[in-house]
């Protein structure tokens, strides 16, 4: 093709009648000797096409192998991070479960809120992906239950929830927190988010924290936690003042009584006579006799591969409720907690907000690492299957090229005879 283009270019130069006569003569000579410009035959074109196909297959095979190495490395890293997250999750559960138990025992939020009551929604995710539907399940729960026209605001912890929710609920996003997921969440991180919520100036009556509850290695539930705001209403709190009697030391001493008794002491000679023992014999059995007594059952224990275990797991989205101080103080069972004034209740609500955020972030981090470990394991398996298919295709194509070349060589040798 390159030689034909050169011939046309020289013909164009000759048509322009340049001042150099040698060029016109060379053009005429090349135009007459067309046999010097051979074209590629169909067999050569087919061979070149096969070679290009082999090169493309080898490049793709190499890229898939590199991807498999990356997914295997990410699986190992996620496994190590998951072990640490699961170890740190057990003591962190006391924070969220304790706050939730207080709300349930005091029967806070038993009444349905007003339709126009302001709400606060907190979506707990992270900035990192490649972990299945961990983040999208939380966003889907919010989009399914809350329309963009509602009276509520959303706090996005992590860029993944913000990226999904800003398409439909951009006007409802209060603020978002980034740089989440690179390190394990701590209580100071949850405290910073709680302070930002309280300092935002948004007054809410109720709310929910959406997060994923970790169940097993790759099983987690998406849950919600309640949130309460900080309106004052201390008049409902009541307690009783009672008296306890006090006694002086003189009165108390008369009550104390004790007896002095004696314990007998025996000498060594007297004590020796008490000691007695019998000499008995134990029968001994030979190996022949003993073998007949031994009996055991042979049973089987099922072994499951990782594929079987992974197929069973599932996760759900859960919620933690949030309530205002007005809702807390109006609770009928709050009077069982003695000496609760407005300052104590407000301080506890601020601490419970940070505690539930810390609990939700720990649950979400453990669920994310376990899901990423499973996702990378599935990606490694899919890459292995693709490598096998590409290797088979590459070997078939290479064998076809070799067979075609052998046929051409044998045909040429037979034609020379």
Q: What value does the mean pLDDT take over residues 349-366?
A: 93
What confidence tier does 321 reach under pLDDT thresholds 50, 70, 90? confident
Q: What value does the mean pLDDT take over residues 233-254?
A: 40
Rounded mean pLDDT of the chain?
Answer: 74
Q: In the chain, pLDDT over 90 holds for what percent of residues?
A: 42
What confidence tier does 361 reach under pLDDT thresholds 50, 70, 90? very high
Q: Please report the pLDDT score of residue 281 as a whole number.
A: 53
Instruction: Specify which of 142-151, 223-232, 338-347 reaches the highest per-range mean pLDDT.
Output: 142-151
Q: Structure tokens of 102?
A: 């207080």
| Of 143 and 282, more confident | 143
* β-strand partners of 153: 120
Residue 393 has pLDDT above 80, yes or no: yes
Residue 151 has pLDDT above 80, yes or no: yes
Residue 405 has pLDDT above 80, yes or no: yes
Q: Please report the pLDDT score of residue 81 as a whole number.
A: 94
Residue range 295-313, pLDDT digits in tens:
434 444 444 444 433 333 4
Residue-wise DSSP of 349-376: HHHHHHHHHHHHHHHHHHHHHHHHHHHH
Q: How far apart are CA 348 and CA 108, in angstroms?
A: 14
Question: CA angle, 276 as apex, 272 and 282 as ends, to 5°?
Answer: 145
| Of 74 and 273, more confident | 74
Which residues have C-beta within 8 Å of that of residue 349, sequence separation ≥ 6? 228, 229, 230, 325, 328
Sign of the dihedral defined by the CA atoms of residues 326, 332, 336, 339, in that order:
positive
Instruction: Specify which of 113-117, 138-142, 345-349 reaches the highest per-range mean pLDDT.
Output: 138-142
Q: What value does the mean pLDDT take over residues 147-174?
A: 94
Please check whether residue 154 is in contact with residue 142, taking contact to mean a CB–CB distance below 8 angstroms.
yes
Which residues of 66-198 form beta strands (DSSP E)? Answer: 119-124, 152-157, 173-177
Residue 286 has pLDDT above 50, yes or no: no
Residue 43 has pLDDT above 80, yes or no: no
Please check whether residue 334 is in contact with residue 358, taking contact to mean a CB–CB distance below 8 angstroms.
no
Q: Please report the pLDDT score of residue 49 as a whole number.
A: 57
Global pTM reads: 0.66
Going from the C-alpha of 94 to that of each of 62, 98, 115, 366, the distances in angstroms are: 49, 6, 33, 16
Checking DSSP bridges between strand 206-216 and strand 317-323, what pairing results, if any? antiparallel
Q: How far apart are CA 177 and CA 250, in angstroms?
A: 66
Q: Please report the pLDDT score of residue 239 as a whole number.
A: 36
Domains of the chain: 88-233+313-373 (3.40.1380.10)
What confidence tier does 338 reach under pLDDT thresholds 50, 70, 90? low
Residue 385 has pLDDT above 90, yes or no: yes
Residue 407 has pLDDT above 70, yes or no: yes
Please check whether residue 113 is in contact with residue 228, taking contact to mean a CB–CB distance below 8 angstroms.
no
CA atoms within 13 A on the CB side of 123: 36
| Of 298 and 317, more confident | 317
Q: Please report the pLDDT score of residue 25 as a whole number.
A: 45
Residue range 54-107, pLDDT digits in tens:
889 999 999 999 999 999 999 999 999 999 999 999 999 999 988 888 888 887
């Amino acid at each position: 093709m390159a030689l034909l283009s050169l011939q046309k270019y020289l013909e164009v130069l000759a048509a322009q009648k340049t001042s150099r006569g040698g060029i016109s003569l060379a053009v005429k000579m090349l135009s007459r000797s067309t046999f010097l410009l051979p074209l590629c035959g169909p067999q050569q074109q087919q061979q070149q096409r096969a070679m290009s196909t082999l090169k493309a297959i080898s490049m793709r095979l190499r890229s898939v192998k590199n991807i498999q190495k990356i997914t295997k490395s990410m699986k190992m890293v996620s496994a190590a991070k998951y072990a640490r997250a699961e170890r740190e999750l057990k003591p962190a559960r006391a924070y969220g479960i304790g706050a939730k138990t207080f709300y349930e025992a005091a029967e806070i939020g038993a009444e349905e809120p007003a339709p126009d009551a302001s709400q606060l929604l907190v979506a707990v995710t992270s900035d990192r992906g490649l972990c299945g539907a961990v983040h999208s399940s939380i966003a889907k729960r919010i989009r399914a239950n809350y329309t963009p026209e509602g009276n509520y605001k959303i706090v996005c912890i992590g860029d993944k929830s913000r990226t999904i929710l800003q398409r439909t609920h951009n006007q409802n996003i209060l603020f978002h927190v980034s740089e989440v997921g690179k390190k394990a969440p701590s209580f100071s991180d949850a405290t910073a988010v709680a302070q930002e919520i309280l300092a935002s100036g948004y007054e809410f009556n109720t709310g929910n924290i959406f997060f994923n509850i970790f169940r097993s290695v790759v099983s987690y539930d998406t849950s919600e936690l309640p949130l309460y705001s900080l309106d004052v209403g201390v008049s409902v709190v009541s307690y009783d003042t009672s008296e306890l009697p006090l006694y002086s030391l003189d009165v108390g001493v008369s009550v104390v009584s004790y007896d002095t008794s004696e314990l007998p002491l025996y000498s060594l000679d007297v004590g020796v006579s008490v000691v007695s023992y019998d000499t008995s014999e134990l029968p001994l059995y030979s190996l022949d006799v003993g073998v007949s007594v031994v009996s055991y059952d042979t049973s089987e224990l099922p072994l499951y591969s990782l594929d079987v275990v992974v197929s069973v797991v599932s996760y759900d989205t859960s919620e933690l409720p949030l309530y205002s101080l007005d809702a807390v103080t109006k609770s009928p069972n709050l009077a069982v907690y003695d000496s609760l004034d407005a300052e104590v209740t407000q301080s506890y609500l601020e601490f419970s907000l940070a505690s539930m955020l810390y609990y939700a972030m720990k649950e979400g981090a453990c669920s994310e690492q376990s899901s990423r470990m499973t996702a990378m394991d599935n990606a490694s398996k899919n890459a292995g299957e693709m490598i096998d298919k590409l290797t088979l295709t590459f070997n078939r194509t290479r064998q076809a090229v070799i067979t075609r070349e052998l046929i051409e060589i044998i045909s040429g040798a037979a034609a020379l005879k």
